[in-house]
Amino acid sequence: MTPQTTHNAGFSLLELMVTVAIVGVLSSIAIPRYLNYKEKVYAANCLLLRRDIETQTQSYYFEHEAFTPDFIDSYQCPRGGVYTWSSSSIEVPEYGQVQCSLHHTSASQVQSDIPAGENLLDNSTFDSVNRNVKRWAPVPTGRINGWESNTGAIEIWRDGFLGYSSPNGGHIVELDGGRANDTISQSVQTEAGRVYEIKITARARRANSSDFSVGWGGDEVETFTPPTNEWKEYTVQVTGTGDPIDLSLSEIAGQSNGLGTLIDKVEVIATDTFE
């Protein structure tokens, strides 16, 4: 009788080590991003609660011509912060402001869950694209993490296409991909009064054809004319409102000729300054 050969269905030691290493790398990326997202949600919910308190208190003031702090006792910060009225609210109660000991301590100083120096944008280097870009491609925004476009697609270049090398070694955006007044944008959750620095690394394909403007909440805040012979980083300071704000990059009207701005990286950096 020929003995039966048994096969062990399982992983070898090497396969297990590789699997554990992959899981460890993914966890080191995913867990901090998840926790950061949770903190952003807590801060946003806290702001909504404080505004609700202010609205109810203002309504009471207009009806009874008297200030009452009672509404504040019915709410609690989702992160355990303590709500109080600012000193100015006692003097001018109809314009009072509720402060949170964790998210908002005064009109000029905020203890934020978002540390100074953190980039708030997703996919800043345009590398998170659900498509194999061999040279270049107009990629639908549904396949590009974080970004939107008024044309429904963003022209993505692979590093080195037409001799243009990305300083970050990743993808490049050609802003004039839709042969229209192209705009790409991303929504940013902001904190009231906090100053942010928008940083854009860009260069021109052709002189007098690759200007671009920076928009914040629908308002144009700056226009730049990048050089043709090198990448240059531009910085713009903007202020948050406590609500999500759209950051936008747009080509200049009259320059829609298929030779637009090349964009390598976009960041919105939280500072430690509050206005």
CA torsion sign, 144 to 147 to 150 to 156? negative
- What's residue 267's pLDDT? 98
pLDDT in tens, the chain (275 residues): 555 555 555 667 776 776 666 766 555 555 555 556 677 778 888 888 888 888 888 888 888 877 777 888 888 888 888 888 765 444 455 556 788 877 754 333 344 678 889 999 999 999 988 888 889 988 999 899 999 999 999 999 999 999 999 998 889 999 987 677 899 999 999 998 899 999 999 999 888 878 999 999 999 999 999 999 999 999 999 999 988 999 999 998 877 777 889 999 999 999 988 87
What b/e readout covers 22-44, taking b as 16+ CB neighbours within 10 angstroms?
Answer: eeeeeeeeeeeeeeeeeeeebbb
CB 46 within 8 A of CB 81: yes
- What's residue 52's pLDDT? 86
* DSSP-derived secondary structure letter, 144: B
- What's residue 195's pLDDT? 93
Helix, strand, coil: what percent of the chain each, to 5? 25, 30, 45
Strands 148-149 and 262-274: unpaired
